[in-house]
Structure 1
Amino acid sequence: MVDNDTVSSAQKYKIYESGFDPNNATIQDENEIKNFLKNILSANVNLNVLIGSGCSLPAIPTMNVTFERLKTENSDLVNVIEKYKTSSFAKEDGNAKNIELFLSWLGNRIDGLSADELKNNEHNVRNFVIDGLIKSIVDGCLENESDSSNKITTESVYRLFLKNLAFIKQLSDDQNDTINLFTPNYDLFIETSLDSLGFAYSDGFKNSVNQTFDTTEYNRRPVDITKRFKDRWSVVKPFFRVYKLHGSLDWVRNDHNEVMKNSNLKGRESSDLTKAVIAPTSSKYADSQGSPFSDLFREFSIELTKSNSILLINGYGFGDEHINDFILQALGRSDFRLIAFVNEEEANAKKFMKLVGSSAGATFITNEKDPGNVHHFSTLAKLLSYQNPFETVTKDEK
């Protein structure tokens, strides 16, 4: 979530080492957290970041917020929800707020009933909900009016985070100088921010007229030819790899079922977009087994299991079991380190922290008292800030 106020010097942070244990939490101040992050992230480590949907607030509302809005716009949706409330799916979602459970139930219902039995336009309702979700994300990415604080503020936080992360990584003189960015988000804030900063990155697509996805592209690294007269070639720094685990708004599938890139979002049909992304249902794990998602999750697993790997998490609510499983597996390694900014009041976050148990490689950072802004993306971006005396500070970075 975005917050323009500077993190207060009086801000206190509650730290859980090795999972959730209310009796084993420590309290640290801002400077202690900044030094902790700087020391960890600038070390000779394989640096990975998991960026969740919370990082794209408020430009893109959460799915459940969008779901509540859609209920007010379609009477057929309201009627179908009444049937959903009587199902076994709704036992853990009595108020029908979980859009993933609802879409999962609706998909199963559509698959299991005949056309005559589907009396409430279930097909249209499902399409309406999915279209509404995608439209909310597209609108957040396309919003570019000068007086729109949503899109501008959200993207400025992404830029600040990526710039500060790159600076800290460059403090280390080692060979692990690539930063891996993993995200289940469909939006394009990572890519547009990297572009505006002028940072080199690979998103898995070939640099050609027909940009098709190929995981071997992640193994390529641009070279800085301005230093070609030195004894050895120098690679471009900083360098990022971007992994869109659930797909992206600028993905499409061609007639050969290959994933290609189309950055022109205007006029795109949501039906075309849904063919290239993983829909928010409980079948996400099964959907991730298809191409190219199986390749992307394999890359996620490979990076987490490399020696001396770190995973920094923000904006992720631990609601995706297939992602959680990879993290838990990595925590079985003695040389893996997890640093997660969380809201411990959220049920999924607390559940995951309990699953971690006594793992020595996990650090959860949350609020000292009531849920505050510690888990907000803007907080992390500013915690990584180390002022360069030769650099002009913009309004967004204050």
Structure 2
Amino acid sequence: METVNIIHHMNEFRNILSYATNIGFFFGAGTSCAFGLPDIMSLTVESKASLSSSQQILFDKIETSLKDLGGKAKVSIEDILNYVRQIREITQGRPDYDFSGISGDEAVELDKAICKAVFDVIKEKEAKADVSDIRRFMAWYDSANRGFVKEIYTTNYDMLLEMAMEANYTSYFDGFTGSYEPFFSPESIEVFPNDNDSTSKWLRLWKIHGSLNWMKKESSTISSERIVRIGKIDTPINELMIYPSKEKYNLSRKEPFIAYFDRMKQYLQRGELVFICTGYSFLDQHINDIIFNAMRQNKRLYVMVLCYLDDQVDTMSSYATAHMNLCVMGPTRMIANGIEREWIYDESTDADVGYKLYWDEMKKEFILGDFRKLIEFLIENSGRKSMIEEIANEK
């Protein structure tokens, strides 16, 4: 396999960050794992354990069916919810209809119970998380005084990003509007703000799989059924709106999902953009289709994928060799311009005093697939470190 000197490549990375006119981010579960939240399989085990015994029996039944039907060795909470919601749709939630031995009302209650279990598991871990490094990242991103709309897309349900931004007094928008019970407003995310818009400098946070503080508000005498965003909550009183599935079973679930993905398509195709993906394993085909279609249509889009493990590089190999505007970087190898190469560190021709920010000398590995290490690298190379630290340390 060919080799590439990581010093030369990271010099190019620094130049890209310095001169890019537009930088966006996509955060997968790995970014939250860096701060103590569970990965998908750990979340599956812990969520199942908090279900009632009868619900665990249904859970096991679905897990067995999925393994038999799909040949999966591991079934995640997302797979379970997909299946439950398909049953819920087919049976219309009725007790007198069943599918695969699970009645409609059992599917409804299991859906709610799983979402509540996910809430409890993540909320417990969230309370223990130290978001000081995320505050530093947000301060870095928000202080980049460039004329572009700063956007973060994430599949994570937790609220670490919101906690960090609000601790920094950073203004942001997530598609919800209102004060009493903020409701999702698809019209508000269809248009990109211009320079005269007072919100143009706000960060945009698009939680494309939902959030722990999204609830379904039942219809009443004064309003129809809608999705609302609650503030800080300890116990949900309505059905949680988190969607790890690609198949949504009614209009109220589809609306935020479709609106966010339409926004993502527009964003990736608007012109020059460096789009940095971290903590994401590219296992959601719907998301992948949007990213790769945009790369084919917009030659000024450059996607950089930072991988925590080399297994993720293997997953990306077929994509990366087919797209010249995709760069994949893992611990021991990378793919750029369609060619896979192994990292080497050779300072004989070009020394780099800051190499420890991206290179583990003992393991001989690239380390920016770790979100915490990426944050440190971005700040150290920003030229604004003292200002960023001041913002992030403000009480």
TM range (shorter): 0.7 to 0.9
State the secondary structure of the residue aligned to 2:204. strand
Could you say which residue in structure 2 is the equivalent of 1:273?
240
Q: CA deviation at 1:247?
A: 1.8
Query: What is the CA–CA distance in structure 2 between the aligned matches of 1:133 and 1:316, rounded to whole Å?
Result: 19
Partner of 1:360: 324
* Greater displacement, 368-377 / 379-388: 368-377
* 2:264 aligned counterpart, secondary structure: helix
- TM-align CA RMSD: 3.8
What amino acid sits opposite 1:244 in the alignment?
Answer: K
**C-alpha offsets along residues 130-181 of structure 1, whole Å, 9 cap, x if unaligned?**
322222223334x1xxxx4xx11xx2221122222334x33xxx532x2111
Per-residue CA deviations over 1:208-240 (Å, capped at 9, x if unaligned) read: 4453222444458699xxxxxxxxx79678531
TM-score, with structure 1 as normaliser: 0.72
Taking the aligned partners of 1:72 and 1:165, their CA distance within structure 2 comes to: 38
Note if 1:118 corresponds to 2:101.
yes
CA distance in 2 between partners of 1:234 and 1:126 (Å):
41
Structure-2 change in CA distance of 1:320 and 1:36 (3 Å): same
Q: Is the Cα–Cα contact under 8 Å of residues 63 and 75 in structure 2 kept in the other structure?
A: no
Give 2:289's aligned residue.
325
3-state SS of the aligned residue for 2:164? helix
Please name the residue that 2:6 is paired with. Answer: 28
Q: 2:271 aligns with which of 297, 303, 307?
A: 307
Matches of 2:235 and 2:168, distance apart in 1: 28
Of residues 9, 12, 16, the one that matches 1:40 is 16
In 2: Cα distance, 1:257 partner to 1:60 partner:
32
Gaps of 5+ in 1: 1-22, 224-232
Post-superposition CA distance 1:320-373 (Å, at most 9, x none): 1111110010110211100111135446x6334313433110111110288885
CA distance in 2, matches of 1:86, 1:209: 44
- Paired with 1:238 and 1:179, the residues of 2 have a C-alpha distance of 8
C-alpha distance in structure 2 between counterparts of 1:81 and 1:206, whole Å: 36
Deviation at 1:26, TM superposition (A): 2.6
Scaled by the length of structure 2, the TM-score of the pair is 0.73
Asked if the contact 1:343/1:366 (under 8 Å) is kept, the reply is yes
Q: 1:166 to 1:27 in 2, by over 3 A?
A: farther
| Residues 186 and 38 of structure 1: CA distance in aligned 2, closer, same or farther (over 3 Å) | same
- Report the equivalent of 1:251: 214
Q: Which residue of 1 aligns with 2:38?
A: 61
Question: Quick check: 2:310–2:330 contact (8 Å CA) kept in 1?
Answer: no
Displacement, 1:292?
2.2
Bigger RCO (CA 8 Å, 6+ sep): 1
Q: 1:135 aligns with which of 120, 123, 127?
A: 120
Per-residue CA deviation, residues 48-80 of structure 1 (Å, 9 max, x unaligned), is 211112111244212210222345556546645
AA matched with 1:374:
L
- Tell me by how many angstroms 1:99 deviates: 2.7
Q: How many residues align?
A: 344
Q: 1:282 to 1:210 in 2, by over 3 A?
A: closer
SS at match of 1:316: coil
**Are 1:165 and 2:165 matched, yes or no?**
no
Question: How far apart are the structure 1 equivalents of 2:15 and 2:252?
Answer: 35
2:147 aligned with 1:175, yes or no? yes
Tell me what 2:65 maps to.
87
- Paired residue for 2:379, among 380, 385, 397? 385
Query: Which residue pairs with 1:14 in the alignment?
Result: none
Alpha-carbon distance between aligned partners in 2 of 1:310 and 1:337, rounded to the nearest angstrom: 5
Deviation at residue 315 of structure 1 after TM alignment: 1.2
Q: For residues 64 and 75 of structure 2, what CA distance do their matches in structure 1 show?
A: 14
Flag the 1:91–1:350 CA change in 2: closer, same or farther, 3 A.
farther
Change (3 A) 1:207 1:64: same
Question: Deviation string for 1:10-61 (max 9, x for gaps)?
Answer: xxxxxxxxxxxxx3563414x952x434322333533221111211124421
> Alpha-carbon deviations, 1:103-141, whole Å to 9, x = none?
334555674794597379964655443322222223334
Structure 2 counterpart of 1:335, one-letter code: R
